[in-house]
Amino acid sequence: MDYPRRIVCLTDETTETLYMLGEEARIVGVSGFSTRPPEVRNKPRISSFRDANVDAVIALKPDLVLTFSDVQAEITKQLVLQGLNVLNFNQRSVSGILEMIAVLSRIVEKAREGEAIIQILRSGLAEIAALAERFPRRPTVYFEEWHDPLISGIGWVDELIEIAGGTVIFPELRVCAKSKDRVVDSLEVVRRNPEVIFASWCGMKVNFDEMLSRPGWDSIRGLRDGNFFEVPSSIILQPGPAALTDGVRFLHAKLVQVAGVRDAGAMDHTPKGITPLL
């Protein structure tokens, strides 16, 4: 059986997964937003998240292009019409992320190695969840994915917040895959009054002064008490290994502070077997 030898990855999570599998030599082109691991910066960059240089992709002569979600549907269509093999992943949950790793591992003839990675990731998440069980209380959390309009966290983000020890304030929106379906009313955030605010505006620095200027937001406990944190988008908005390692650890470390855990040192450590790729 032939396996793809020249792969173009148009999102960071598939790139990171191939590096973890030791198959980075197969990668011939990446997204301009790829940052994990640092060595990926040496790969040719031929796309943004929403747009790709189709001619540049074709010139790389890939036997497989990896894309993500409806956001890259037009890119996927253009490349398919050019006769390229394209696989569009669409994971929106923790289980979906693990399934992506399993599928990609099989594609590059590394099924056993992929399963080992999945087991390590599962173990790390379970360890953090067990630590969070020791919280005296679970702080309420608002995660802001975008600011205009206000968009709450996508499915895997909500799951990771709960694993890390928090309680999301818009659990009913978790099943909404599209961002337009996760738009929330500013005053409803005020009404639900979260104790913690996490924000990650993809490609843009979070402006907490702008948050404070919103009507009524100066009364929100998270802002009033200083429990607001920017999460790097590279470790939380990429549905891959980064979110299940560095992302969930970041959330957990901040929630430890807010929950009033006395033995914080025991809470803030790297789960066994997981090595950050930053």
User: What is the DSSP code (8-state) at residue 235?
Assistant: G
Are both 7-90 and 122-259 of the same fold?
yes
* Nearby residues of 214 by Cβ (< 8 Å), 6 or more positions away: 186
Rounded to whole angstroms, the Cα distance separating 158 from 65 reads: 29
Q: Which CATH class is domain 122-259?
A: alpha beta
Q: Alpha carbon 33 to chain centroid distance?
A: 13
Q: Are 200 and 232 in contact (CB under 8 A)?
A: yes
Name the amino acid, one letter, at 130. Answer: A
CATH topology for 7-90 is: Rossmann fold (3.40.50)
Segments in the chain forming alpha helices (H): 12-20, 54-59, 73-81, 94-107, 111-132, 155-164, 186-192, 208-213, 221-224, 241-242, 248-259, 264-267
What is the sign, positive or negative, of the torsion defined by CA atoms of 62, 237, 99, 171? negative
pLDDT confidence of residue 251: 98
Which among 246, 267, 252 is positioned nearest to 196, based on CA atoms? 252
State the Cα angle at 133 between 132 and 135, rounded to 5°.
70
pLDDT confidence of residue 265: 46
For the chain, which residues make up each domain, given as ranges?
Answer: 7-90, 122-259
Residue with tokens 């337009």: 180
Residues of the chain below pLDDT 50: 264-278
Which run of H or E residues covers position 142?
Answer: strand 140-147
What is the sign, positive or negative, of the torsion defined by CA atoms of 154, 91, 202, 16? positive
Q: Are 26 and 7 in contact (CB under 8 A)?
A: yes
Q: Are 274 and 120 in contact (CB under 8 A)?
A: yes
pLDDT confidence of residue 272: 39
